[in-house]
Amino acid sequence: MKYLSTRGHADRPHFCDILLEGLAPDGGLYLPEHYPQVSDATLTAWRKVYHDQGYAALAFEILSLYIDDIPAADLRALCAKTYTAEVFGTGEIVPLRHVEDGLWLEALSNGPTLAFKDMAMQLLGNLFEYELGRRGESLNILGATSGDTGSAAEYAMRGKKGVRVFMTSPHGRMSPFQQAQMFSLMDDNIFNIAIEGVFDDCQDIVKAVSNDLAFKRQYKIGTVNSINWARLLAQVVYYFAGYIQATETNAQKVSFTVPSGNFGNVCAGHVARMMGLPIAQLVVATNENDVLDEFFRTGIYRVRGSADTHETSSPSMDISKASNFERFVFDLLGRDSARTADLFGPQLAQAGRFDLSAEPLFVQAASHYGFASGKSTHSDRLATIKDVFQRHGMVIDTHTADGVKVAREHQQPGVPMVVLETALPIKFAETIVEALGQQPDRPPKFNGIEDLPKRVVVMPADAAQVKAFMVEKCD
Ligand SMILES: *Cc1c(COP(=O)(O)O)cnc(C)c1O
């Protein structure tokens, strides 16, 4: 399998070439040259693989269609090492839980940091260690986080040979639980940098450091953000696992509702559907930051400035532009890389928006690709958390609540609707208390985490000081 850039660059790298990279050289995103097609017989075989051998074996089947530069035995071992009951809490790894008539939750948040990002990041950690070891290289990951990404990256990379993580976060702005998760890590290869500023300042620092090409090369700076193809690919697996659990035969269809921000999670659903998984709808659920809902309703994609990006009680979906969205638009436009390059290059830079409403192709977003969307606000979130608790005795997190709210508006008779559970409620306890008047459950291994010693340096929003810190730690 070779990969191409959504903006048409001539290179056709293989999986391991793009594993350690972010964007393609022309600023586009990588996608496979084609989507491998899963026949009815293969899907039936995969049902048996999942039921008899488990999630890791299913992951191997799917990943091996996209990865031809890691020997099969090694890839199988990497999957087996990643998706274990010890790390993800259950043997099913992603069990379905019944909520009410026709509605299910797929539990993706029982990994080390209690958010779905662990599903992909844990694999990425093992892939990085493997590939860096094979090349005899090392990598310094520099990131910016408002919470979930940073902790998932640190728990995936801790103790990994050849990798250091430098994670910036806005000083004092993450939830106490999120701060405790990250700052209590004492591994030698993990460095927390709290920046006196907001999340955008952290992102600006990462950009400034990455744009210093000499520094980037000398210190082997890399990233693990959601545009990384390996992360997206890892997420494709749980759409298959969810489908297999929700159905008995391949004649049945399933819909998924996905709490969305950067369009990474739901883009993996798009890939699964393109492979032939019988998905009826892919429902994109947003919060008050409704860039994506607006697009699927109107055909207009309008990115927001940071001043127009609301701080909400589902903060991991507070985005102003969806960094993976270019992948879907590329497919929607019949893989026209010149048009994609124009829309996501000059058009967005100059106008901050593009408009596909007059395009016959836009209609296909729903009819051809199954996409639908909806939006949920703070009061919807509180009402949904309360309702699900009162009627079903389940406590759901704020992002998942946005999903349930929107899913209920899109259910179709006879088609199971699976909502992806993207975090556990303990991560966003303040809003749970607001909705229910009580604290959410805390998995026992997190008892007392806020009282552990913390390791973090506080710095002004100054890229030069961050660089100096990195240099000191790399020597
Ligand atoms: C990252 C995250 C999301 C958004 O996922 P995308 O892939 O960016 O669309 C939703 N919910 C939670 C809890 C997250 O951490």
Ligand 1 neighbour 117 (Cβ under 6 A): yes
- What secondary structure does DSSP assign to 198-258, as a single string? -HHHHHHHHHHHHH-HHHHHHTTEE---TT-HHHHHHHHHHHHHHHHHH-SSTT--EEEEE
Q: Model pTM?
A: 0.96
Ligand 1, pocket-test mutation among 116, 313, 432, most atoms within 8 A of CB: 116
Expressed in angstroms and rounded, the spacing between residue 259 Cα and the centre of ligand 1 is 7
23 vs 127: which has the higher pLDDT: 127
DSSP letter assigned to residue 77: H
Nearest CA to ligand 1 atom 8: 262
Could you give the percent of the chain with pLDDT greater than 70? 100
**What proportion of the chain, given as a percentage, has pLDDT over 90?**
88
154 sits in which H/E element: helix 148-157
pLDDT at 126: 97
Interhelix angle 148-157/176-183, rounded to 10 degrees, is 20
> Which range among 30-44, 82-96, 135-149 shows the weakest confidence by mean pLDDT?
135-149
Summarize pLDDT for 78-135 with one digit per residue, the tens.
999 999 999 999 999 999 999 999 999 999 999 999 999 999 999 999 999 999 999 9
Distance 316 CA to ligand 1 centre (A): 5
Site to probe by mutation for ligand 1, drawn from 312, 316, 420 as the one with most ligand atoms within 8 Å of Cβ, is 316
- Is any atom of ligand 1 closer than 6 Å to the C-beta of 151? no
Is residue 225 very low, low, confident or very high in pLDDT (cuts 50, 70, 90)? confident
- Mean pLDDT for the stretch of residues 337-359: 96
Task: Answer whether 265 contacts ligand 1 (Cβ < 6 A).
Answer: yes
The ligand 1 atom at the shortest distance from the C-alpha of residue 399 is: 11
* pLDDT recorded at residue 198: 83
Residue 65 to residue 39: CA distance in whole angstroms: 13
Is residue 327 within 8 Å of residue 6, measured between CB atoms? yes
Whole-number Å distance, alpha carbon 258 to ligand 1 midpoint, is 9
Whole-number Å distance between alpha carbons of 4 and 7: 8
In terms of Cβ atoms closer than 10 Å to its own Cβ (0-12, 13-18, 19+), residue 443 is: exposed
Average pLDDT, stretch 43-49? 98
Residue 306 has pLDDT above 80, yes or no: no
434 or 364: which carries more pLDDT confidence?
434
Separation between Cα atoms, residue 397 and residue 422, nearest integer Å: 8
Q: Which residue type does 75 have?
A: L
Instruction: Please report the pLDDT score of residue 72 as a whole number.
Output: 98
d(CA 168, CA 153) in angstroms, rounded, equals: 12
CATH of 96-113+229-436, one of 3.30.70.920, 2.40.128.110, 3.40.50.1100, 3.20.20.80: 3.40.50.1100
Q: Which residue in 137, 166, 113, 180 sits closest to 20, CA to CA?
A: 137
Q: How confident is the model at residue 475 (pLDDT cuts 50, 70, 90)?
A: confident
The answer to whether 79 and 56 have CB atoms below 8 angstroms apart is yes
Tens of pLDDT, residues 201-215: 898 899 899 889 899
Q: Is 260 in the pocket of ligand 1 (CB under 6 A)?
A: yes
And the tokens for 148?
A: 């979930």
CB distance 398 to ligand 1 below 6 Å = no
Tell me if 263 CB under 6 Å of ligand 1: yes
Establish whether residue 289 lines the binding site of ligand 1, counting it when its CB lies within 6 angstroms of any ligand atom.
no
Looking at residue 471, what is its pLDDT? Answer: 95
Q: What is the pLDDT of residue 223?
A: 86
Which residues have a catalytic role annotated?
A: 117
47-89, pLDDT tens digit by residue? 999 999 999 999 999 999 999 999 999 999 999 999 999 999 9
Closest residue to atom 7 of ligand 1, CA basis: 264
What are the pLDDT digits (tens) for 240-297? 999 999 999 999 999 999 999 999 999 999 999 999 999 999 999 999 999 999 999 9
At 157-177, the pLDDT tens digits run 999 999 999 999 999 888 888
pLDDT at 148: 85
Q: What is the DSSP annotation of 320-357?
A: SS-TTHHHHHHHHTTS-HHHHHHIIIIIHHHHSEEE-T
- Give me ligand 1 centre to Cα 224, in Å: 14
Under the banding of pLDDT at 50, 70 and 90, the label for residue 22 is confident
Torsion of CA 50, 53, 58, 64, to 10 degrees: -150
Six-digit token string for 387? 């309702």
Ligand 1 centroid from CA 378, angstroms: 17
Mean pLDDT in residue range 316-330:
93
- How far apart are the C-alpha atoms of 181 and 424, rounded to whole Å? 14
276 CA distance to ligand 1 middle (Å)? 24
Q: What is the pLDDT of residue 226?
A: 84
382 in Cβ contact with 225 (< 8 Å) = no
SS3 call for 421: strand
pLDDT-based confidence at residue 236 (cuts at 50, 70, 90): very high
Q: Which pLDDT score, from 0 to 100, does residue 301 have?
A: 97
Nearest CA to ligand 1 atom 14: 316
Burial class (CB in 10 A: 0-12, 13-18, 19+), 320: middle
Ligand 1 neighbourhood includes 261 CB (under 6 angstroms): yes
- 146 close to ligand 1 (CB < 6 Angstrom): no
